Amino acid sequence: SPSPPPPITNALQALISELQAPTFEARIRESRAKDSIVAPPEGSEHTTAAASKAPKDNKDKNEKVKAFDAYLIDKYDSID
């Protein structure tokens, strides 16, 4: 694992450091050992898709949404 950069002592150094810094994702990726990075579990993509797609109305026939806690989805009929 790479050693951490030295502490920033002035504003110009901070600006230069920020401009040269890798992206957040790259820093996270580089901070972990390659063998600790694993593929998401099978089925997680379906869960994400179901959680991201709300039914249009009560007659929606999308089984993936119904199977994923559809009773929790707000229909926006009224504000209580």
Assess if residue 15 is contained within a domain: yes
Place of tokens 């959680």: 51
Contact 69, 77 (CB under 8 A): no
- Phi and psi at 14, nearest 5°, equal -65, -45
The whole domain housing 27 covers: 8-35
Assess if residue 76 is contained within a domain: no
Assess if residue 2 is contained within a domain: no
Residue 31 has pLDDT above 60, yes or no: yes
pTM above 0.85, yes or no: no
3-state class (DSSP) for residue 11:
helix
Assess if residue 24 is contained within a domain: yes
Segment 42-49 mean pLDDT: 65
- How many domains does the chain fold into? 1
Assess if residue 58 is contained within a domain: no
